[in-house]
Amino acid sequence: MKAPKHWRRSLIAYVAALTLSVPWYLAQRADRVQPSVSGRVMEVIDGDTIEVSGLGTVRFVGINTPEKGQPGYQEALDFLSKICLGKVVLVDIDDRSPRDTYGRTLGVVYLNGTNVNAELLRRGLAQVLYLPPSEFDPSSWE
């Protein structure tokens, strides 16, 4: 059974209005941080910080690796460089704290579906770092 003509016209009008309003809605949100962004890793800064094309500096949320000059620094840096450098990653940006005090994007980094933050913990190259508020619970990754 066919829908009445006035129903079809209403549906077409609704779809047309929705089609026109979606770009407007997205433009209104353009200044906000997107929930997840993919990009190529252009540089590995240290064991928990990378530079991602189209996003900038990304600090791995929920973990901390040794700083330069500390034991384990080079191992974390080498591991992250080996698996991420030049690869396309997905960054799930922390909804509760999208940026740190240095302006870096905070998030969980995924490479081919693997949570890299969790992988650094599993390999003993990082420790859990709680800097509330965060939507992520790094203790669940261990």
Active-site residue set: 59, 67, 104
Name the β-bridge partners of 105: 58, 99
> Which residues in 26-48 are b (16+ Cβ under 10 Å) and which e?
eeeeeeebeeebebebeebebbb
3-state secondary structure (DSSP) of residue 42: strand
Which one-letter amino acid corresponds to residue 97?
S
* Residue listed under structure tokens 């949100």: 29
Give me the sign of the Cα torsion angle 71, 125, 75, 86: negative
Ramachandran category for residue 113: left, alpha or beta (phi over 0 → left; psi -120 to 50 → alpha): left
| Interatomic CA distance for residues 14 and 95, integer angstroms | 32
